[in-house]
Amino acid sequence: MSKDADLITDEQVAAIADRMVGEGRRVSPVTIWSEARGGSLVAIVAALERWREARQPRTPDLQIPGGLPEGLAETLMSAAGQIWTTSQGEAEKAFSQRLTAASEHADAALADRDEALAEFQKLADEIDAGRERLAALTEALGASEQTAAQLGAELATATGRADAAETRIEELTQQVSAADANLETAQASLEVERQAREELAATVSARNDEIAQLTQQRDDSRQEAATLSAECQAKSDEVEKWSQASSALTLRAQTAEARIEELVQQASVADATLETTQASLEDERRAHEELTAVVASKDGEIASLNQALDGARQEVASLRAAGEAKSEEIDKWSQEASAATSRAQAAEARVEELVQRASVADASLQATQASLEEERKARDELAALVANRNDEVARLAQDLDGARQQVATLDAAGQAKSEEVARWSQEAGAATSRAQAAEARVEELLRRASVADASLQATEASLEEARRAREASALALSEKNDEVARLTQERDDSQQQIAALNDTGLAKSEEISKWSQEAGAATSRAQAAEARVEELLQRASVENANLETTRTSLEEERKARDELAALLSDKNDEIARLTQERDDSQQQIATLRNTGEAKSEEVSKWSQEAGEATSRAQAAEAQANESLTRLAALQTELDEARQVLETERHATATRLDAESDQLNEVQRITQELEAARGQVGALTEAKTSASAELARVSQDASAAKERADTAERYAAQLAQRLAELAETAGQEGQRGQHPGTRADEPESAEQVAALQRQISAQAKAHEKALSDLRTNAEQWVAHARDLKQRLGQAGEKILFIDARSTGEVALVRRLASELERLKPDHELISRDAQQKLIGATMSLQLAQKGYQYDPATAVMSKING
């Protein structure tokens, strides 16, 4: 400004003013300043004053006669009267000229003052508009910060989903390894069954040879069968008794069939549960597709936010340029206002200042009312958003409760399966004890038969026993064939399951890679958003610096206004001095009252003008008092509006905190729901494998029961044979020694030995089957314990995720509170500080639930005691 002041001169100002007068335009400091395009407005005002003084006509000096005419004394008196009259006329003329010049000077000052005031009002309006744009930019920055926080929450959700997917992969890997182990076990058992089948084929071939030999013996003994027809009548009663035993066995078979029907029903229930699980998996797949669509829509929202950020950058740049231009214009108009206001009168300046303050208060009140209306609208929208969030939280809570109920149902089903396994183990133990008792009974019967067979004819009994042994061998062979077919079917099913698990594992691997890519993309987008947020924060700091500069300039303007007030006070003193001079003039006029009646009338006229001036001064004071009263009322109303706005802002901040808590709760419930769904899937697969294992154990137990029943029937047959032999021995003892008996004793001894060997082989086979059943039962119990352990681990993982989410919520709240205060250099910006805060919160949360957490190793353990 000092350089511009040096460049302007009085000649330039005079030339511009003369040109404007020649063009018929109004001459004022503002118009001259706009024509000069530079210079100080104060210097222009001073030069213009000098130009106006130079243009004013000067009062001609009085021409006093140099001497008196010589002559008569009357000439002296007439000359004195002429001098008095001339001096009085010249004084009145000079006074009128000075009064006219003062009036023109005052009118010009008032016109300049009005023009400067209009320009100052226009500048104030532009400053208010700039402040409103700055407030809008601040709101846009807040929206960008909220968007960045939302992107951080979405990144945390994607990270949680990636962790759940990794957990799912580990579970699938364990299941594949378990399936491989089951396949190897099935292959080993299939190899054992193949060897047993080969041994059984050899045994069948040997039995066929024995059957041929026994057939020859049967043909020889048919001739002796006629002699035993009488004995058959005696055995009819015993046959009746065994028929009753057969009916009891039939009842047992019916009971076994009922048990089989019950197992079939259980299998159908398991199939229905499997279908329900598949339906839930289909729902999960649909939810996954919906979530993918939501992620796509979020990408669109992120793109729109990026566009909004670009627009905000452009607006910030334009606002900065406008702020610089306005700063220069503020300095210029401040000088013009100071120069113009220094020329105003005291009373009118005060009235105009009060009017201006009232208008500013009205504008502030209107802006406050508008901001209140916007706050009310934002509060209504926030209430609607909170209601929607509450509905979403309720829906997610219902889904979580449903998942927990399903987990509880699966847990109960697992416990029921464990109880059923224990029952089967007990039944297997009972079957083992029954088989052992049957073996002991067989040993006893064999001992008694070896004593009695030396003296009995057992040709028919041996043939019957051989036939039955052949039927038993055929039955065992058919059972082995069925078992081999079943094992082959199980192997095919296992291979199909392995292929399905491999396909599922590949699909999950692809899904995990996709989610990993999405998580990486989300991370990069979050980093870009953080960079944009940092850039916006820096720009906001620059804008704050500009705002501080503007405030400083306003403070300097306020100081200039104080100086202007001091200058006005000096002007008031000058006016008082002029008033004093006017009073002196009036006293001088009063001393000249004796000169004539014209002077008296002039004095009365000036008195009337002084009264009118006094009344105008009183009216100005009354208007000033009224303006002060109105300004005080507006100030009170503005303070009340500010208090209401502050209350609304506090309420909005509280609602935003509540909404943030609800959003964090929604994210935590969503993570728990995802974990529960993964757990449900794992439990469903475990239940499917447990159902297959239970079916196999049930079949093994049924086969063992059938073998035990066969052993009991065989023991009953041996007891029947022993009774027949004892009765025959008694009859033979009464008849005496028969010559053919001694000849058949070696053959009977061989048959008894063969029967002993057969019974020993069958006993070994029964013992082996019972051992396999016991092993399967133990494996099932171990599997149930493993399932229980996995459920416990799943519960611990849920607790871990809950504690992790609590820690992240605490971190987000702290970060939000610090970012609201615009402290980018806070300690929580550091990653280490964030990890420490999360670890401390997780340790406290897990300690309340009986667990110990080490933040350094991320290991969670149960607290003993």
* pLDDT higher than threshold 60 for residue 748: yes
Q: Is residue 457 in some structural domain?
A: yes
Average pLDDT score over residue span 442-448: 61
The domain boundary, picked from 16, 37, 55, lies at 55
Higher pLDDT, 64 or 19: 19
Predicted local distance difference test score (pLDDT) of residue 4: 45
For residues 811 and 592, which has the higher predicted lDDT (pLDDT)? 811
The per-residue pLDDT of the chain, averaged, comes to 67
Examine the domain organization and report whether 515 and 401 are in the same domain: yes
Distances (CA, A) of 106 to 109, 193, 452: 5, 128, 160
Q: Model pTM?
A: 0.25
- Closest C-alpha to 480, from 261, 196, 177: 196
The answer as to whether 265 is a domain residue is: no
Please compute the mean of the pLDDT values over residues 52-67 and round it to a whole number: 59
Residue 809 lies in a domain: yes
Per residue in 356-392, pLDDT (tens digit) is 665 665 665 566 566 656 656 755 665 565 556 556 5
What is the per-residue pLDDT for 461?
Answer: 58
Round to whole Å and give the CA distance between 455 and 449.
10
DSSP 864: P
The answer to whether residues 653 and 795 belong to one domain is yes
Instruction: Answer whether residue 567 is part of any domain.
Output: no
pLDDT band at 76 (very low <50, low <70, confident <90, very high): confident
Residue by residue, DSSP assigns 428-447 as HHHHHHHHHHHHHHHHHHHH
SS3 57: coil
Tell me the average pLDDT across 614-624.
63
Q: Does some domain include residue 690?
A: yes
Is the dihedral angle over the CA atoms 297, 302, 303, 304 positive or is it negative?
Answer: positive
Lowest mean pLDDT of 405-414, 451-460, 766-775, 844-853, name the range.
451-460
Tokens read off for 235: 């055995």
pLDDT at residue 115, as a whole number: 77
- SS3 call for 59: coil
Q: Are residues 360 and 214 part of one domain?
A: yes
pLDDT at 33 exceeding the cut of 80: yes
pLDDT tier for residue 708 given thresholds of 50, 70 and 90: low
Q: DSSP letter at 860?
A: E
On the question of pLDDT at 283 being above 80, the answer is no
Displacement of CA 363 from its chain's centroid (Å): 42
Whether residue 798 lies inside any domain: the answer is: yes
In this predicted structure, what is the pLDDT of residue 576? Answer: 62
In a domain, 412, yes or no: yes
Q: Which two tokens stand for residue 376?
A: 């009310």
User: Is the confidence at residue 63, as pLDDT, over 50?
Assistant: no
Instruction: Specify the pLDDT at position 809.
Output: 74
| Cβ neighbours for 196, distance < 8 A, ≥ 6 positions apart | 480
- % residues pLDDT > 70 (the chain): 34
Residues 307, 454, single domain; the answer is yes
pLDDT at 229: 57
DSSP secondary structure code for residue 97 in this structure = H
768 to 525, 708, 762, 774, 822: CA distances (angstroms): 66, 12, 10, 10, 79
Q: Which residue has the tokens 């303006």?
A: 627
Per residue in 656-687, pLDDT (tens digit) is: 676 567 666 656 666 666 665 676 566 667 66
What is the DSSP annotation of 23-40?
TTPPP-HHHHHHHHTSS-
- Check if the beta carbon of residue 372 is closer than 8 Å to that of residue 648: yes
Task: Say if residues 568 and 344 touch (Cβ distance below 8 Å).
Answer: yes
| Residue 42, in any domain of the structure | yes
**Which residues form the domain of 39?**
1-55
Domain count, the chain: 2
Q: Please, which pLDDT band fits residue 68 given cuts at 50, 70 and 90? A: very low
**Which tens digits make up the pLDDT trace of 103-130?**
787 787 777 777 777 776 776 787 788 7
pLDDT of residue 340: 47
> Which H or E run contains 342?
none
